[in-house]
Amino acid sequence: MAHPDEELAWRAYEAFGKGDMQTMDELMADDVRWYVSGDSAISGAYEGKQAVFGFFQQLGEGSGGTFSLDVHDIVANDNHTVALVKTQGERGGRQIDDNAVHVMHIEDGKVASFWSFAWDQQAQKAFWG
């Protein structure tokens, strides 16, 4: 039987993939902290749902709606939830096809904090600017 936080993470990735922001809203804490590693145009810290949804909009607009995540696996325990993902998209004739690790802390059934670590930071910077 899967850990409840693993199930929550699968629901969140499925909702993100479908553009179901209502479900994403339900699965995030109001004061969620979202961190993206590196020094690309999308890197940085996003504090609160409004900032995170703005980040999601930036991903969609910046990739002409082509940005997607392919989740390879999710593992969870009472302290951490970790997802292994592939990020893909197209932008201005450039493509991104990179692996990433996402680490989440889930508190009271909601994502409280999220960290994204991309494998190829140079590719991320070239793609996002």
| Overall average pLDDT of the 94-114 stretch | 97
Residue 93, class by beta-carbon neighbours within 10 Å (0-12 exposed, 13-18 middle, 19+ buried)?
exposed
Kindly report the number of other CB atoms within 10 A of residue 119's CB atom: 12
Is 29 in contact with 111 (CB distance < 8 Å)?
Answer: yes
> What share of the chain has pLDDT > 90, as a percent?
97
Q: Per the confidence metrics, is the pTM higher than 0.85?
A: yes
The answer for residues whose C-beta is within 8 angstroms of residue 50's C-beta and 6 or more apart is: none
DSSP-based three-state secondary structure for 33? strand
Contact of 115 with 102, CB cutoff 8 Å: yes
Q: Mean pLDDT across the chain, nearest whole number?
A: 96
Q: Give the Cα separation of 31 and 82 in Å (integer).
A: 20
The confidence score (pLDDT) of residue 129 equals 85
What letter does residue 43 receive in the DSSP assignment?
-
Q: Which two tokens stand for residue 57?
A: 């909009």
4-128 folds as Nuclear Transport Factor 2; Chain: A, (3.10.450)
In degrees, rounded to 5, the angle at the alpha carbon of residue 30 between the alpha carbons of residues 28 and 36 is 60
